[in-house]
Amino acid sequence: MKRLFSPTLLAATVLAPLLCPPLGAQPKKPFHFAHRGGAFEFEENTLFAFRSSYDKGLRGFETDIRMTKDGQLVVLHDDSLDRTHNGTGPVEALDAEAAKVITTKKQAEPLLFLDTLLDYLADKPGLYVEFEMKTSNKELYPDERIEAYAKQIYKQVMERRPEGSTWVFTSFDARPLKAIKKIDANAEIMFIKGGPLDDELMKAATEIGARRIACKMEGTTRLVVKDAQKKGFIVTGWPGRDLNDYFLGLGLGVDAICTDVPVKVQEFIESRAK
């Protein structure tokens, strides 16, 4: 007779060491934070998303920053407004007045300006926030625009940072990270890779003075995470699309997980603490 394995039993066997460690063991729990405010639970990169995640107990956030044609900073992930907003083309082609009338597709929320988000965060000390600088498209952000972009985002962000908070400038693009470091050698920056953690990412991060790195968790090994941490890096894993990704990050031993389902992760952790 063939022995049939229950998927539920198999999952419980795999996760048991993570969720029910031996007596006396204290496994490190990665810090989890809300990607785009919680992109799978709320309308992404809206003030509603950040407020809702905060109200559910989240104290870490990630967001994406772009610049209008006349130099105002807005919160938007894509190169184009088409997917998320009632608008077309790049926000970089609009001036601030035109951008102010753009609304989101689901809830008709206004396109979020960075100043508005910073106003909301200003009275909330102790937060962790990543400001991703979306400058990888060199047609929208040629080399000559990077310095002005970096100066503007640094000025706005650092003027409003609450006491005791960790605010990090992040990017897949080394150019704005280098520009931020020229403004402030002590600024917290993170270099992001669209792939697994490897020596190449660590080398590139070292060259620009980044002690924080972010990588895709799929394909990353526990061994390379430990190696990076021994070298002094703080390692963030992404994407976090569901609870299984949280368990993956837990197993890999990353320091933080950028998740699209932050409330679900928060509720799971709280349920285990009861």
Provide DSSP, 105-150: TTT-PBPPBHHHHHHHHTT-TT-EEEEEE----TTTS-HHHHHHHH
In this predicted structure, what is the pLDDT of residue 10? 33
Mean pLDDT of 112-122: 98
Q: Predicted confidence band at 274 (pLDDT cuts at 50, 70, 90)?
A: confident
Mean pLDDT of 221-239: 98
Residue 39 · residue 271 · CB < 8 Å = no
Q: Predicted confidence band at 22 (pLDDT cuts at 50, 70, 90)?
A: very low
Residue type, 174: A
Question: Is residue 19 over pLDDT 60?
Answer: no
In this predicted structure, what is the pLDDT of residue 238? 97
Residue type, 229: Q
The answer for residues whose C-beta is within 8 angstroms of residue 82's C-beta and 6 or more apart is 88, 89
pTM for the whole thing? 0.89
In this predicted structure, what is the pLDDT of residue 86? 98
Mean pLDDT of 230-243: 97
Q: Which of 38, 19, 37 is nearest to 29 (CA)?
A: 19
Q: Predicted confidence band at 28 (pLDDT cuts at 50, 70, 90)?
A: low
Where would I find the beta strands (DSSP E) of the chain?
31-35, 60-67, 73-75, 128-133, 166-171, 189-192, 212-216, 234-240, 256-259
Q: Predicted confidence band at 49 (pLDDT cuts at 50, 70, 90)?
A: very high
Question: Is residue 121 over pLDDT 90?
Answer: yes
Mean pLDDT of 114-139: 97
CATH classification (class only), 26-77+113-273: alpha beta
